[in-house]
Each structure stands twice: as structure tokens, then as C-alpha cells.
Structure 1
Amino acid sequence: MTAESTPALVQSADTDGGPAQPGPPAARGPRARNTRAYFRYMAGKIAGAIVSLFAVLVTSFFLFRLIPSDPVKQMTGGRPVSAEQLGSLRRQFGLDLPLWQQFTDYVGDALTGDFGMSYQFHSPVIGKIAEAVPATLLLTGTAYVLYTVLGIWLGTRTAWRNGSKSDRFHTAFALTLYSVPSFWLGLLLIIVFSVGLGPIPGLFPTGGLESGGETGFAYVIDVAHHLVLPVITLVAVGYAQTLLVMRSSLLDEMGSDYLTTARAKGLRDDLVRRRHAVPNAMLPTFTLMFVNLGHVVAGQILVETVFSWPGLGGLFYQALSVPDLPLVQGLFFVFATAVILANTLADLLYPLLDPRVGR
């Protein structure tokens, strides 16, 4: 038998001189190790997400019980109510039970998707949340797509033209918008474009999802008309944040040796930017995109409240004013869960952008 026809053997590490055993091809070793390392990385991230969700469940129960208010008295609206009637309401909502028993009941029910009955709406909490989700997704989802695309595009162009007039203008404008509170910007837009200011007439509704009474295509136009101002408010703040992060990341990459090498090979400046610089600068922006994706479900409490938008943010404000403890707890858990799941998904996808992550 020739040396060329002898199969690859792995010499036994035992000191007794035992026979050599056939081993896997050498190329499979690093690949298998990388796969095992990624699965360990993935298991750690998922375990961390589970622990975080349980911590949110505990926090949502105790945090809102620190509010100095009596939900039962708030529900009676200040009307004269006897002590027996107040006691009956407390028993009805389980507020007469010891705190530890309320907590165990809450955790047990929440793990099955039951967040109890809303105090003010007298309906299941999960049902009220499901009713408000479409309006929130319509508003924040539309804004998310617009400000993500706009922020990445402008952030890339301003960084590549660092120091130009365009770069200085867009950076200053983004910094200004990023520092403006979203609710204040929303109120300003309502004053100027809804109420009307000087020669500017009121062009858009002051709030709400629809005017009512419209059907078919007219209903779509009516909803789009109501969307304009709240979407502009969210896009203004979101695009500014995305632009600044993308610009900073790309500036960090622009002095790298691999870009100099790409130019030395004769690649056009546009190709160097799109094929080499931007993909390597996307990791921080990728993180921000997934954080903002969690906020798509969590909604924007202040903006929805300012524009009387019937979404999760507006519902949370209503629940907090009572306080409607089951509804507040359920919404808080949904908001936190959306952000945690989005961050976990980003962590699991990082190795696809940067192979060094999770190895």
C-alpha cells in the first residue's frame, strides 16, 4: 500500500502505544468548533432574555404599586361610596388579598397570557391590548421604515463628504432635532399645521386615527391624512438619531487600510463606499435598528398622547391616570418584551455581519 493511498490517521494520545484511530478531515475541526461556539453564544443570549423577561414580570407588579393612589376610589369618580361598597370592589378585583398572594396569582396568570381584567374598561387586558396594536403598528411602523432608510442614506453621504457644507448642515440639523423633545415637536406641529398660525391655514387634523363616516378608498385617504403629523414627528427624531450613529460609524472606518487598498486597485470611490466601507460600518446602526424595532411595538407614549392616537401608548397613558393596575402591568410587560426580543434577535444575527462575534 502506498503512502498516498493510506487514509488520514490521528495518532492516539494514550501513552500505551495503542493503534491510531481514523479522524475527521482537518477542515471540519475549525468549522465544528465555530458551530459549537455559536450555539453556546446563542444559548447564553436566550437564557439572558428569559431572565430579563422574568425580571420585567416582577418589576411590573411592584413598580406600579408604589403610585400613591387608590384605584378603587379613582374608579368611583369621587362619588360618595360606603365602606362596604369599597370593600366589595376591592374583593372583586383581588385588592384585599395579601401582597404576596396577589403577586403569585399575577405571575401564574401572566405565564399563561392572562393579565386579568381592566378596572376601567371591565374587559380582559389582553383584549384591550390586541385592539390597540394595529393603530400603533401603523403609526410607528410607517415612521420606522422612513427614518431608518433616510437616516442611513443621509448618514452615509454626510460622512463620505466629511467637512463639506452639506455635511455641516445635515449634522447641525440632526443634532437640533435629536435634542428636541418629541412631544414638544408634536405640539408645535399641531399649532402650526392643525390650528393654523398667521398665513398658514390648518391643513391637518389635530389628532385621532380617522374622522369617521368614511369607507373604501376615502377611508384610506382619511387615515393617511391623520397620519401625516405624528409620522413627521417620529421621523424627525428617529432619522436624526440614525444619521448621527451611521455617520460616526462610517467616519471610524474611513481611515482603514482596506479602503486604501481598494482604491489602489482602481475601484471607483462609489464602489469603495458601497461595497467595503458601508457594510463594515453597519454594526452600530444595526444595533440601533433593532432597538427601534422593539419600540415599533412598544409605541410612543408621548407622541400618541399628544395626537390622541388610539394605540398602545395612548392606552398606557389612560391606564396610568387611574391607575388601572392590570392594564398598566400588561402594557409594561408587552413594551419590555418587545424591546428584549428585538435586542436578542439582534444579538443572534450579529455573527452574520461580524464573524468575530460569538466565536
Structure 2
Amino acid sequence: MSTASTPGVARDAADGPGRTGPSDTADRRSSGTATAYLLYTAGKLGGAVVSLIAVLVTSFFLFRIIPGDPVKAMTRGVPTSAAQLATMRKQFGLDLPMWRQFTDYCAHALTGDLGTSYQFRAPVGELIAEKLPATLLLMGVAVVIYSALGLWLGTRTAWRNGGLGDRINTGVALTLWSVPSFWLGLLLIIVFSVGMGPIPGMFPTGGMSSGSSSGFGYVADVAHHLVLPVVTLVAVGYAQTLLVMRSSLLDEMGGDYLTTARAKGLRDDLVRRRHAVPNALLPTVTMVFINLGHVAAGSILVETVFSWPGLGGLFYQALSVPDLPLVQGLFVVFAGAMILMNLLADLLYPLLDPRVGR
């Protein structure tokens, strides 16, 4: 058989055994990218595990330095003998050496057992599961609204940097970001719940519902109670998102790639949406995921001010005793949510910017 009838063989022979075609180079590049991403992911997972272990250790010792005796706090105002106090300490395991309490706590926590609450006499996991839906509702609605609003306004103000709208939005955002959320919540209660001057009291002062409705009426009642706490959280949260997005986009606006995109004849709106905004999203993505981590933690001060029956209010009640198993369990849940959201943000980075992780 002649070589003329088999051009593929001829080309292979010409290339030689040491040469590779474009497809082989692309395969190696793809394999190298996948390997780099796997190593990057493994490193981030290892860091998350180390962080979680540090949280377990911190949650145990941090709340041991809170002044106060849980047993005496629970029996305050009730005649109790020394023998009864000793029995209660033994029941709660407070009579054990510190190292034994720590090892027992870690062993139970690693199996998902967060202990039993001193004041509620119920498993901490059940208490958290009971209060979690209310916090997810409040914080979920607030995070979605202020993330979308902050991203949109941050993009608009940065793109029109120096204009009247930019100065007004930035000034309002800086003011709201510096306002304590609990103070803003109290102010809204005074103005819109109690009423002030010509403004009548339109919203309830606290709670999640009036408890006297069902069906659609219950949904409307919960939405009515949501207004003021959500406005409080959105006012502070959108300001932070706006300022971070604005700063990030301003850093990108001087890039040569935007000048090139305009030189190609692209409309200004397309340059912003297709080129500038995607490259400015990385810092904002981090903050959005951190805010999603706050969904589990809730806002302790805002929930306390509005008597919202969520995890924030539960944490405040636990600290007042102090109810050690409950505050430790809540701290682990709060910190664990933050670690998980940071991990997801880190894993998303290479998809937004291929340079990350290589």
C-alpha cells in the first residue's frame, strides 16, 4: 500500500513520535485546569474543616468567661439549699473538670448532639429547628431585597461617578451604614408603630403575628409584622452592598479593555453590563455570600428590638442566663453557616474569574 493512499499515516510519520497536535495540547491544558481546580477545592475544604474545629474550641471556652453562675441564675428568687444547687450542677455536668467538659462537648458536637438547654430543658437542636424558620423568613427577605437594591444602585452610581445621583446615593448610604440597626429599629417603632404627630401608628410593635387569623389572613398578618424589621435590615444592608459595588466598579472603569470595547462601537450600556460589571463582582460576591451566612445567624439586635421569635432572640435569652449549651450550639450554627457561605464563595470564584486558583 502506497503512502499516497494513506495521508493520515504519512502525516503521523512526518510529525514524528515526539510531536503532538492541537487537540493533545488542548486536552493537557484542560486536564491541568481541572487538576488545579481540584487542588484549590481541596485546600479550601481543608481550611473550612480547620475553621470549624477552631469554632468548636472557641465556642466552649469563650462562653465560660461570661460572668454568672447558670444554676444560681435559674434559681434566682427560689429558696434553694446548697445540696440542691450541687445536685443541679451535677445534673448539668458543671461539677466535672474543665477538660472533661470540653472532651464531652466535642464528642457530642461531632455527632450532631449540641446538648440540652438549661432553662428550656429541651435539646438544643430542637430549639434551633423550632426558631430557624422565623429567622430564615426575616433574613431571607431582607437579604434578597438589599442585595438586589445595593447591586443595582451601586452599579448606577459608579457609572455616573460625580453626578448628582452619585453624590446623593453615596451620602445616604454612608449615613445609613453608620447608623446602629437597633437604634434605627427603635426609631421606626416610635414613628410608625406608636405614631408621631400627623403619622399614625400603622404597624405592630413586635412579634411575628397577631395569632388570630389563618390561611391568607395569616400570611397577610405575618407580612404586616415583617415590614418594619425588614426595612431596618434593608436600610443598613443595602448601604454596605452599594458602597462595595460602587468602589469595585470604579476600580474597573479605568481598564483598557473598556476603552477597547467602546472603540469597537459597543453601546455604553452593553460595555457596563457585559464587561465592567462581571469583572467588578468578585468583592461583591464575597459580601453577598457573607450576608447569606447571616441568614442563619439572623440579626440579634433587630430580632430583640422587634420581639421577632427567631434565633437572634433565642441567643439573647440564652446569654442572659447564661445557658451554656444553648449559646454554644447557636454559636456553632452561626459560625458554621458563615464558614459554609465563605467556602461556596471561594469555590465560585474560579468560575467567575479563571485566574483564581491557578
Relative to the length of structure 2, the TM-score reads 0.95
State the SS of the aligned residue for 2:25. coil
CA distance in 1, matches of 2:39, 2:297: 30
State the SS of the aligned residue for 1:180. coil
Shift of 1:283: 0.8
CA distance in 1, matches of 2:221, 2:291: 27
Shift of 1:191: 0.6
Query: 1:149-188 counterparts in 2 under 5 A?
Result: 149-188=148-187
Letter in 2 for 1:222: D
Seen in structure 2, the aligned counterparts of structure 1 residues 68 and 210 have a Cα distance that, compared at 3 Å, is same
C-alpha distance after superposition, 1:128-183 (max 9, x if no partner): 00001000000000000000100000011111111111110000000000000111
Partner of 2:31: 32
C-alpha distance after superposition, 1:194-248 (max 9, x if no partner): 1111111111000100111110101001000000000000000110000001111
Shift of 1:68: 1.3
Seen in structure 2, the aligned counterparts of structure 1 residues 9 and 104 have a Cα distance that, compared at 3 Å, is farther
CA distance in 1, matches of 2:182, 2:14: 72
RMSD of aligned Cα (Å): 1.7
Shift of 1:298: 1.2
CA distance in 1, matches of 2:64, 2:289: 31
CA distance in 2, matches of 1:72, 1:233: 36
Shift of 1:80: 2.1
Letter in 2 for 1:314: G
CA distance in 1, matches of 2:96, 2:13: 78
Q: Which structure carries more helix by proportion?
A: 2
Seen in structure 2, the aligned counterparts of structure 1 residues 239 and 9 have a Cα distance that, compared at 3 Å, is farther
CA distance in 1, matches of 2:115, 2:153: 46
Q: What's the % identity of the aligned pairs?
A: 73
Greater mean alpha carbon deviation, residues 82-91 or residues 26-35: 26-35
Partner of 1:17: none
Partner of 1:15: none
C-alpha distance after superposition, 1:86-135 (max 9, x if no partner): 01101111111111111111100011111111001010000000001000
Partner of 2:54: 55
Partner of 2:252: 253
* Counterpart selection for 1:4 from 7, 11, 19: 11
Partner of 1:190: 189
Seen in structure 2, the aligned counterparts of structure 1 residues 188 and 3 have a Cα distance that, compared at 3 Å, is same
Gaps in structure 1 of 5+ consecutive residues: 12-19
Gaps in structure 2 of 5+ consecutive residues: 4-8
Counterpart check, 1:316 vs 2:352: no
Seen in structure 2, the aligned counterparts of structure 1 residues 10 and 195 have a Cα distance that, compared at 3 Å, is farther
CA distance in 2, matches of 1:6, 1:128: 73
Seen in structure 2, the aligned counterparts of structure 1 residues 266 and 112 have a Cα distance that, compared at 3 Å, is same
CA distance in 1, matches of 2:164, 2:20: 69
Counterpart check, 1:202 vs 2:201: yes
Query: 1:257-272 counterparts in 2 under 5 A?
Result: 257-272=256-271
Partner of 1:273: 272
Greater mean alpha carbon deviation, residues 336-345 or residues 255-264: 255-264
Shift of 1:78: 3.0
Partner of 1:138: 137
CA distance in 2, matches of 1:105, 1:214: 45
CA distance in 2, matches of 1:200, 1:7: 88
Shift of 1:282: 0.7
Letter in 2 for 1:4: R
Shift of 1:77: 2.1
Partner of 1:74: 73
CA distance in 2, matches of 1:6, 1:41: 40
Shift of 1:279: 0.8
Seen in structure 2, the aligned counterparts of structure 1 residues 207 and 26 have a Cα distance that, compared at 3 Å, is same
Letter in 1 for 2:40: Y
Seen in structure 2, the aligned counterparts of structure 1 residues 265 and 115 have a Cα distance that, compared at 3 Å, is same
CA distance in 2, matches of 1:244, 1:158: 9
Query: 1:268-307 counterparts in 2 under 5 A?
Result: 268-307=267-306
Shift of 1:253: 0.9
Letter in 1 for 2:143: Y
Partner of 1:94: 93
Shift of 1:25: 1.4
Shift of 1:37: 1.1
C-alpha distance after superposition, 1:53-90 (max 9, x if no partner): 01000110111010111000011123221010001101
Letter in 2 for 1:244: L
Seen in structure 2, the aligned counterparts of structure 1 residues 168 and 98 have a Cα distance that, compared at 3 Å, is same
Seen in structure 2, the aligned counterparts of structure 1 residues 7 and 192 have a Cα distance that, compared at 3 Å, is farther
Partner of 2:226: 227
Letter in 2 for 1:338: A
Number of equivalences: 351
Greater mean alpha carbon deviation, residues 73-82 or residues 95-104: 73-82
Shift of 1:10: 5.1
Shift of 1:356: 0.5
Partner of 2:6: none
